[in-house]
């Protein structure tokens, strides 16, 4: 039996589990035509860096859901430390079960998490739980241009073969019942500051770990960071700012 959890070892205590920061979360929030929401759900919230900033900005309860309980514990601890635990309600559950638990969502937020059940699938499933006229903000790894270095293309062919261009994802959003309001692409430095700059030394320190799962995870992470460095901006995290039609 595997006694080490590579995710805990690599990400323990990290505020960010994906690229991006508070300034980007707030910039995207302000792209919406309203800032008034009753029911707000964050799908795949992780340790909830983005929820903390959204809860403070909107001063509303946010339902924070993730399938990994330890991330939710971490989020609760952070929320308590910041005095905003009354604004965050955690749910340990699968994001594909959202419509069974929430029926009238005004704002569905999901940063770097929809890929776990597939972007198109996520939009379809969540759409049935979002009010007509309600909003979905979903970030998704996307190709930013046609010219992609071979090494990058190969990495994602095995790592994330479902990655699509922005145009394809916009078509997916429209075909699954949303109006596209706009998109927002994370700038390059949002991948590095507080994310890859912390993750890289952590992953390198685990490369000789006695457990092969941990070693493999560490090697894959180091590779991912190298790929990013040679990406020539061919891919990025794109926020799709959508309204339920
Ligand atoms: C890359 S992390 C992003 C976390 C957070 N949104 C952020 O940007 O920091 C992806 C998150 O999705 C969660 N996750 C993966 N599959 C899930 C599922 N089927 N249902 C709910 N959460 C899931 C993981 O536990 C993890 O916290």
Query: 169-185 pLDDT, tens per residue?
Result: 999 999 999 999 999 99
Q: Which residues of 115-220 form beta strands (DSSP E)?
A: 130-143, 164-165, 178-185
Report the percent of the chain where pLDDT is more than 70. 99
Q: Is pLDDT above 80 for 3?
A: no
For ligand 1, whether the C-beta of 48 sits within 6 Å is no
Pocket test for ligand 1, best of 14, 92, 116 (most atoms within 8 A of CB): 116
Question: In the chain, which ranges are continuous DSSP H helix?
Answer: 6-11, 22-29, 49-58, 69-81, 98-101, 119-127, 150-159, 166-175, 189-191, 197-205, 212-229
In this structure, the residue with its CA closest to atom 27 of ligand 1 is 46
Q: Find the mean pLDDT for residues 15-36.
A: 95
- The verdict on residue 1 lying in a domain is no
Q: 46: Cβ below 6 Å to ligand 1? A: yes
Structural domain total, the chain: 1
The pLDDT assigned to 2 comes to: 60
Q: Is the CB of 5 under 6 A from ligand 1?
A: no
Q: What is the pTM of this model?
A: 0.96
Q: Which one is predicted more confidently, 115 or 12?
A: 115
CATH number at residue 72: 3.40.50.150
Pocket test residue of 6, 8, 101, 113 for ligand 1, highest count of atoms within 8 A of CB: 113
Q: Cα separations (Å) of 116 from 127, 179, 235?
A: 17, 23, 18
Whether the CB-CB separation of 162 and 118 falls below 8 Å is answered with yes
Does ligand 1 have an atom closer than 6 angstroms to the CB of 45?
yes
Ligand 1 pocket test: pick from 40, 41, 62, 67 the residue with the most ligand atoms within 8 Å of its Cβ: 67
Check whether 1 has a pLDDT greater than 70: no
State residue 162's pLDDT score: 95
The domain of 152 spans 6-244
Does 121 or 13 have the greater pLDDT score? 121
* pLDDT range class, residue 15, cuts 50, 70, 90: confident
């Amino acid at each position: 039996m595997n006694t080490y959890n590579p995710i805990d070892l690599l990400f323990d205590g990290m505020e960010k589990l994906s690229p991006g920061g508070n300034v980007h979360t707030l910039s995207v929030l302000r792209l919406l035509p309203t800032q008034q929401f009753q029911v707000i759900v964050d799908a795949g919230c992780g340790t909830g860096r983005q929820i903390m900033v959204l809860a403070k900005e909107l001063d509303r309860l946010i339902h924070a859901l993730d399938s990994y309980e330890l991330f939710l514990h971490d989020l609760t601890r952070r929320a308590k430390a910041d005095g905003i635990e009354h604004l965050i309600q955690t749910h340990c559950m699968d994001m594909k079960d959202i419509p069974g638990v929430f029926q009238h969502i005004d704002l569905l937020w999901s940063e770097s998490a929809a890929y776990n059940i597939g972007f198109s699938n996520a939009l379809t499933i969540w759409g049935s739980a979002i009010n007509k006229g309600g909003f979905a903000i979903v970030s998704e790894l996307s190709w930013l241009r046609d010219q992609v270095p071979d090494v990058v293309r190969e990495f994602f062919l095995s790592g994330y073969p479902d990655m699509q261009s922005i145009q394809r994802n916009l078509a997916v959003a429209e075909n699954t019942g949303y109006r596209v309001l706009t998109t927002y692409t994370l700038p390059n430095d949002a991948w590095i500051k507080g994310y890859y700059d912390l993750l890289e030394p952590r992953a390198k320190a685990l490369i000789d770990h006695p457990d092969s799962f941990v070693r493999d995870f560490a090697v894959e992470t180091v590779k991912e960071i190298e790929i990013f460095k040679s990406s020539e901006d061919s891919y990025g995290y794109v926020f799709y700012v959508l309204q339920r039609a």
